[in-house]
A = this chain, B = another copy of it.
Amino acid sequence: MSAGVAARPTLGLLAHSGLYGLATDLYEITMAAAYLDAGLDVTVATFEMFVRDLPERRGYLVVAGLEQVVEYLRGLSFDGASIDHLRALPSMADVKPPVWERLRALRFTGDLWAIPEGTVAFANEPLLRVRAPIVEAQLVETFVLSTVNHQTAIATKAARVVEAAAGRGVIEFGARRAHGFDAAVFGARAAVIGGCIGTSNVLAGRAFGLDVYGTAAHSFTMAFTHETDAFAAFHRTFPRSSILLVDTYDTLEGVRRAVSVGPIRGVRLDSGDMLPLSREARRILDGAGQPRAIIVASGDLDEERVADLVAAGAPIDLFGVGTELITSRDAPALGGVYKLVAIDRGGEHRPVRKLSAGKATYPDAKQVLRAVDGDGRFAYDTLALADERVADGGASDVLDGRGEPLLVPVLRGGELVGELPALPAIRAHARAQRESLPLSVRRLRDPERYPVRISARLERLMTTMHPET
């Protein structure tokens, strides 16, 4: 550990794509060096990312993060300073110069297949597949996982909160509790994919074209001598869009003072018992001739509390959800893994699988086929080999063989196959996906396990493969 780096700026770490190469775990670099030394440079590897088990309480995942993965893969390189940094690491003392030459020239030249953002997915289904020269395919593991694990966790959590809100708007409010400000920005993106109508995060709004929402804090009220003075001042500046925070002192007295300053856009409740408070606030607003003024609720909300308030008929129009959403607090780490499934070398294709206790994997490049029932609802998925059509001729079974393949090509030879969808389209897709789930899988509490079958050919491959030694 070296001293005296305190004054160097570190925000915006990934400003230069020449640094993307260092955005990885050291073992990806040591493996790259050993692969190259061993002459495996021409070996082509296929890796897949998947989640072994769905997180606690979740019946499905909402996939997110692909756009940042693509940005990273297209920009991936090591600038000269990065190579110098690596060469100077003590553990790299024995690495030979050709390795550094190869890394200096490294770009991502492979293929990326992925399930599009906003799609729902399940355990053991590859969310993406990378096929590239092994050094490239291996190196990108860490960044790919951190990005997709994070955004998928947040999009999935958001979908649950939005589900609970049953049509009322949910705003992502959690920047202050995110894992740093970058996590807040990408988390806001994921939350909107999951169904939020917007975010409080201004930079996320700018970066991704999201709708941003903001009211005022208790400190605003406290900066004035009287609460009414604070409300009047805010209303003067925002005559058409004031949503006044009313619980700094006495919530219902606050509502009365809020309506006294003129026609307001609404009030926000941030503490206390939301059901009676929202009802009483509604009565005060209506009684003051402001039936169109809305009620926003915030403060330690999660999908359970939102569902309870909705079920009880609380007259709340918008929910601002912070900590629980932006950290996916009850399941804050999605356990996505990135595993080697096949090796191509010298014209030979070799499927591989890992057998470690509790960590076994399905071999070879795979595809997910989704069968839909007569009402357009998802019936089951089939985990199949990438090149197979399940039960191609099975016309007697409406479901079999009609599965839509979920993984689509995104990069081919390092180049974009087509334009990525814009965020509004991703969000609409996520909503349609959620609405196509069986209700038993979609529900918040004790969801059933969605059926994911293994194709006959994949089963056969697994039983015929000999454990490597």
Contact = CB atoms under 8 A, between A and B. Distances in A.
A30 to B, nearest CB: 5
A236 B203 CA distance: 48
A212 interface: yes
A213 interface: yes
A177 B146 contact: yes
A10 interface: yes
Interface in A285-338: 323-324, 326-329, 332-336, 338
A180 interface: yes
A219 B1 contact: no
Given A180-B150, A222-B340, A234-B34, A249 B468 contact: yes
Chain A, interface residues (CB within 8 Å), range = 35 or more
26 contacts: A3-B209, A3-B425, A4-B209, A4-B422, A5-B209, A6-B67, A6-B421, A11-B72, A12-B14, A13-B207, A14-B182, A23-B181, A23-B203, A25-B176, A26-B202, A34-B216, A34-B233, A47-B219, A134-B223, A142-B176, A143-B181, A153-B179, A179-B183, A222-B353, A222-B354, A225-B468
Given A327-B333, A334-B177, A24 B355 contact: no
B223 A340 contact: yes
B26 A214 contact: yes
Nearest to A34: B237
Contact of A219 (B226, B340, B357): B340
B181 A147 contact: yes
A381 interface: no
Nearest to A342: B222
Contacts of A200: 25-27
Nearest to A229: B38
A325 B275 CA distance: 38
Nearest to A187: B179
A138 interface: yes
Contacts of A353: 222
Nearest to A185: B13
Contacts of A12: 12-16
Interface string A40-82: 1001010100000000000000000001100110010000001
A347 interface: no
Contact of A68 (B1, B11, B23, B28): B11
Interface stretch (A85-93, A120-128, A365-373, A456-464): A85-93
Given A177-B334, A247-B356, A223 B323 contact: no
A167 interface: no
A426 to B, nearest CB: 9
A239 interface: yes
Contacts of A213: 26, 91
- Could you say which of A186, A217, A241 has the most chain B C-beta atoms within 10 Å of its C-beta? A217
Contacts of A141: 176, 217
- Could you say which of A27, A178, A233, A359 has the most chain B C-beta atoms within 10 Å of its C-beta? A27
A444 B356 CA distance: 31
Contacts of A239: 94
Given A91-B214, A178-B179, A210-B1, A146 B184 contact: yes
A75 B9 contact: yes
B223 A354 contact: no
Interface in A147-188: 147, 149-151, 153, 173, 175-187
Given A145-B177, A212-B26, A419-B6, A183 B185 contact: no
Contacts of A209: 1-5
A198 interface: yes
A10 B71 contact: yes
A281 interface: no
A203 B425 contact: no
A358 interface: yes
Contact of A29 (B28, B45, B181, B214): B214
Contact of A30 (B3, B238, B352): B238
Contacts of A234: 30, 34
Nearest to A245: B27
Contacts of A328: 332
